[in-house]
Structure 1
Amino acid sequence: MSRSKTVFPTKSKTDEAAIFKIFSVGIVTSRDEWLYDFDRQQLAKKVQFFCDFYEQEKVRWNKSNNKKVINDFVDRKIKWTSELEEHLLKNSSLEFNPDFIVTSTWRPFTKKYLYLAKIIVHRLYQQEQIFPIGKDNVAICLTIHKQVPFVVIATNCICDNGIGSRLSQILTLYYYDENGNRQDNITDWSLEKFQTYYNNKKIKKLDIFHYTYAVLHHPTYRQKYEQNLKREFPRVPFYENFQQWVKWGKKLIDLHINYETIIPITKSNAILQRHFKNQIFTKI
């Protein structure tokens, strides 16, 4: 790895002195067994039952004398949380809508169908800004925790909070405002820093996104900052040969997102294997 200079954070809560403007933890359903499934039709059946049963309990509650504590009243055939019980008390409706079934990244290289609706999902956090239904985006999912190895994985769909077996943070290329308009999530501040350091006004925000992904995956970087990556957000150094890092990051993101269509590396395709070794993380 080439010598690095200047390190700055990937995210900031207070201003734009970071690479990414907004970030979010992954989605928390608190009822994965009801809201996730590998089979779309099976998921639809489960959620339909859940919604119907909730509505039945709402009717039963409204017909009762309401003297019981709601926690003691509801039938536990479905997974209740305090928030869902509050919705029942507010007489909120829960109606199944097949348009709310989306593809999600549940674990690294593991996609599942997810039913994405406010009342039934326990915590959406800022996922509606970064992965609203029907909108495109690309995300870098990070798991930073002392109990598990540092996890970095790219995805183009909404992410579960447990993608790396502990709380995860999601950094995206874009976000969407309240009117549904796409906005750059790479800050102008970081663009100016990169263009100035490399003396190249042609550097784009997408290049910075790819560069960041390559750096976070480089074995030498991860070894050098191993202890930091167990307790704090990554800080990204400037390395020489910026465009080479951009190419590596772009290639890795393509591999990690489109893994289901990538040709496996086997003894029978030695040419591809040699090409992979030459292109990904050659020492510079």
Structure 2
Amino acid sequence: MHPTPKRSYFLSCLRRGASRRRAKEELFANIQKTINFYNKERERFFEAKSKDSSLQIEKFIKYDSTFITWDTRKLRGGLEKNRAIEFDPNDLRVAVYRPFCKQYLYFNHHLIHSRYCQPDFFPNDTTNNLVICVPGQGGRCDFSVFISNTLLDLNIFESGIAVSYEL
């Protein structure tokens, strides 16, 4: 009897790498599209506001979710202050979206509504740090513990909130 050949994990890793590369390029393109749309709306708004000082931002900006989702504090607030956004490739980071599922994230303070303490835990993509994460009070899932060496989604446990502690 011949022994069963060992399964090669090398090829599956190559396939995953190509898929992650494509995901990074897609995120790069989407973020560029969002930033360009925001900056064009900002310029358009201030040009129109110079002609009509009573112009209200909520009634003026284009609401097109294929380009942007306007949150009140960050994006509309930044636009009202005429704050331009520039793309920073250092903000393309890997994050854990659900336990054991990593994906690319554009971790920029202009576009992420609430980053909480994550910039302290992981100030850049080369920081070697660990956090322990547990479901927050009032969450829907049972008690769990998750340790990560990268950025975490607030809803990692699908419980509405997660609490992270630096180790």
> Aligning the two structures, in what range does the TM-score lie when normalised by the shorter sequence?
0.7 to 0.9
Letter in 2 for 1:91: N
Unaligned runs of 5+ in 2: 1-21
Change (3 A) 1:59 1:43: same
Letter in 1 for 2:71: T
| Distance in 1 (alpha carbons) for counterparts of 2:166 and 2:23 | 27
User: Structure 1 length as normaliser, TM-score?
Assistant: 0.46
Match of 2:60 among 73, 78, 84: 73
1:30-45 equivalences in 2 (<5 Å):
39-45=23-29
| Distance in 1 (alpha carbons) for counterparts of 2:152 and 2:53 | 39
1:116-155 equivalences in 2 (<5 Å):
116-133=107-124, 134-144=126-136, 145-155=138-148
* CA apart distance, 1:80: 0.4
Structure 2 residue matching 1:151: 3-state secondary structure: coil
* CA apart distance, 1:109: 0.6
1:78-89 equivalences in 2 (<5 Å):
78-83=68-73, 84-89=75-80
Unaligned runs of 5+ in 1: 1-37, 174-284
| 2:162 corresponds to 1:171 | no
1:21-36 equivalences in 2 (<5 Å):
none
* CA apart distance, 1:137: 0.6
* CA apart distance, 1:68: 2.9
1:233-272 equivalences in 2 (<5 Å):
none
CA contact (8 A) 2:139 2:161 kept: no
**1:57-92 deviation per Cα after TM superposition (whole angstroms, max 9, x unaligned):** 011011112423212211112110111111001111
Letter in 1 for 2:155: G
| Distance in 1 (alpha carbons) for counterparts of 2:29 and 2:110 | 18
| 2:88 corresponds to 1:104 | no
| Residue correspondences, number | 137
| Distance in 2 (alpha carbons) for counterparts of 1:76 and 1:143 | 34
- Kindly name which structure, 1 or 2, has the bigger radius of gyration based on alpha carbons: 1
| Distance in 2 (alpha carbons) for counterparts of 1:154 and 1:57 | 41
**1:183-212 deviation per Cα after TM superposition (whole angstroms, max 9, x unaligned):** xxxxxxxxxxxxxxxxxxxxxxxxxxxxxx
Q: Aligned Cα RMSD in Å?
A: 1.7
Change (3 A) 1:170 1:162: same
* CA apart distance, 1:146: 4.8
Structure 1 residue matching 2:36: 3-state secondary structure: helix
**1:71-127 deviation per Cα after TM superposition (whole angstroms, max 9, x unaligned):** 221111211011111100111111112221000011101111000111111011111
* Structure 1 consecutive aligned stretches of length 4 or more whose deviation exceeds 4 Å: none
| 2:44 corresponds to 1:51 | no
% identical aligned pairs: 28
Structure 2 residue matching 1:80: 3-state secondary structure: coil
Letter in 2 for 1:74: I
Change (3 A) 1:146 1:79: closer
